[in-house]
Amino acid sequence: MKVVLFCGGQGMRLREYSEKIPKPMVPLGYRPILWNIMRYYAYFGHKDFILCLGHMADTIKRYFVEYDETISNDFVYTKGGKQIDMLNTDIDDWRITFVDTGISSNIGMRLMQVKEHLEGEEVFLANYSDGLSDLNLNQMIDWFAPQLDKVASFVAYQPSQSFHVVTRENDGLVKSISHIGASGLFINTGYFVLRNSIFDYLNWGEELVEEPFQRLIGEQKLTSWEHRGFWASMDTYKDKQKLDEAYAKGEAPWELWLKSSRKNGV
């Protein structure tokens, strides 16, 4: 199943990094967050990627063209480095299509520009490329696939940050206030499962989750999969710090591929 990753935004809320490198290339451990997301999809068997590029597209292209397998894999070094035999690999069986979809394009416009690369795909996956999760992806796909009357689905997640949700009157009078975790509100995490018929609901210039999703809601063709495990986005510098701390402690729930290797004694 093909995976569309939206990698063209400028990431202005992560300007400590995004002024020098595109947001998807911000490092998390020894690899960019984009690699971590792709590695997650590959763990579930989805290794055919379409990267919707934009801001600093050349940086992302160069990273993969010059990719060094030795950084994240075991190998045998002999003959003073003239011969390197890999003991395992991580992206050798990946297929990556790089498409420049423009610097100022929104998500819907980027998706429309890769439509030709999705021909023949009844169902495909998509992601914003800045969120990490331990979601059982194939379980969600198996749930969505038989619902032939549904066009799209996304992962709904209940945030746990220390915010309070407030409802108020126009004059400022507060009607209620509650912790966001107890508010019953869910957010769209950006983990999408889409049928190819999504293009029938998407017009040029429209944002994917605005007009098209509203049309799907009107026809009862949009669903959501509730996830109560781990999910976090690298949206701000503070977000990155939290993810870096988790990684440094060996507590990276999104690294399902490593957990599988340890379980199998690899």
* 8 DSSP 8-state letter: -
User: How far is residue 190's CA from residue 123's CA, in Å, rounded to a whole number?
Assistant: 16
Show the CA angle centred on residue 249, arms to residues 30 and 126, nearest 5°.
55
Which string of DSSP letters, residue by residue, matches 195-230?
Answer: EGGGGGG--TT--TTTHHHHHHHHTT-EEEEEE-S-
d(CA 41, CA 139): 13
What's the pLDDT tens digit per position in 57-93? 999 999 999 999 888 889 999 999 889 999 988 899 9
Question: Taking a C-beta distance cutoff of 8 angstroms, is the pair 124, 118 a contact?
Answer: yes
* List of long-range contacts for 211-215, beta carbons under 8 Å, 24+ apart: 212/108, 213/152
Indicate if the pLDDT at residue 44 is higher than 60: yes
- How confident is the model over 48-61, as a mean pLDDT? 96
Average pLDDT (196-203) is 98
pLDDT score for 266? 46
CA distance 115 to 200: 11
Q: How many CB atoms lie within 10 A of CB 126?
A: 26
| pLDDT of 237 strictly over 90 | no
Q: How far, in Å, CA of 106 to CA of 205, rounded? A: 7
Beta pairing, strands 95-100 & 174-179: unpaired
Residue with token string 């049928």? 195
For residue 100, report the phi and psi dihedrals to the nearest 5 degrees: -80, 110
Res 179: pLDDT: 79
CB 121 within 8 A of CB 115: no
> Which residue has tokens 């997301």?
37
| pLDDT bucket at 13, cuts 50 / 70 / 90 | low
pLDDT(188) > 90: yes
pLDDT in the model for residue 193: 98
Domain 2-156+187-263 has CATH 3.90.550.10: yes
Pairing, β 131-133 against β 222-227: unpaired
Helix (H) or strand (E) holding 194: strand 187-195
Cβ atoms within 10 Å, residue 11: 22
- Model pLDDT for residues 98-135, shown as the tens digit of each residue: 999 999 999 999 999 999 999 999 999 999 999 999 99
Break the chain into its structural domains and give their ranges: 2-156+187-263
Q: Evaluate whether 201 touches 217 at the Cβ level (below 8 Å).
A: no
Report pLDDT for 236: 86
Q: Which pLDDT does position 160 carry in this prediction?
A: 73
